[in-house]
Copies of this chain bind each other. A is one copy, B any other.
Amino acid sequence: MTLSTRDLLPIGELAARSGIAASALRYYEDLGLIHAERTSGGQRRYRRSTLRRLAFIRAAQRIGLSLDEVGESLGRLPVDHVPNAAEWKGVATSWQRRIDQQIEELERLKAKLTGCVGCGCLSLTRCGLYNLDDAAGAAGPGARYLLGDRAPAPPRSQDPPPRPPTY
C-alpha cells in the first residue's frame, strides 16, 4: 500500500485529533501499543489508522483494562486488515463479560447499602456492608475478616452482648 504524505500525521496533529497528549503517544509507543513511521530526520509520522487504534485503547481503558491488558486485546485483532465480525466478537465479548462483572459487583454493593439505609446501625454483626467478601470478590483489596469478632482463630471467645457502639 502506498501512502501519500497526507496520510501521515506528525505527533502534534495526532495528539490534537485524538485528544491524547503527545507524551502519552510516545509512551504508548514504548509499550508497543502503537507504531509510527519515521522521517529521515527521525520524527514520527503516524498512519491515520492509528486514530482508530487510539480510540480502541481509550475505550478499553474506560472499561478498566490496564495498558498491559489493552496490549493483549490489541494482539487479538488482525494487523493487516480491519477486523471482521468474528475477530471483533472475541474481543468484544470478553469486554462485555468484564463490564457485567463490574456491574454485578456494584449492584451487590448497592443492595447492601440500601439495606443499611433502613437499619442505620452499622452493627458489626448485622450490617451487610461488613460482609462484602463475596467469593467472586471482583477487584480491590477486599475486606477479609471485617466481621471482627468472628475472625479466624478468634483470640477471645464470644461476641460481647450488644452495647451502644461509638465511632
Which A residues have a C-beta under 8 Å from some C-beta of B?
A: 1, 6, 13, 16-20, 47-49, 51-56, 58-59, 61-63, 74, 77-89, 92-93, 95-96, 99-100, 102-103, 105-107, 109-110, 113-114, 116-122, 124, 129-130, 132, 140-146, 148-149, 151, 155-156, 164-167
Contacts and interface: CB of A to CB of B under 8 A. Distances in A.
A19 B146 contact: yes
Contacts of A95: 113
Contacts of A149: 17
B144 A109 contact: no
Given A17-B145, A63-B109, A106-B99, A56 B122 contact: yes
16 contacts: A13-B155, A48-B165, A52-B167, A54-B146, A58-B143, A59-B130, A61-B141, A62-B140, A62-B143, A78-B167, A82-B165, A82-B167, A96-B113, A96-B117, A99-B109, A102-B102
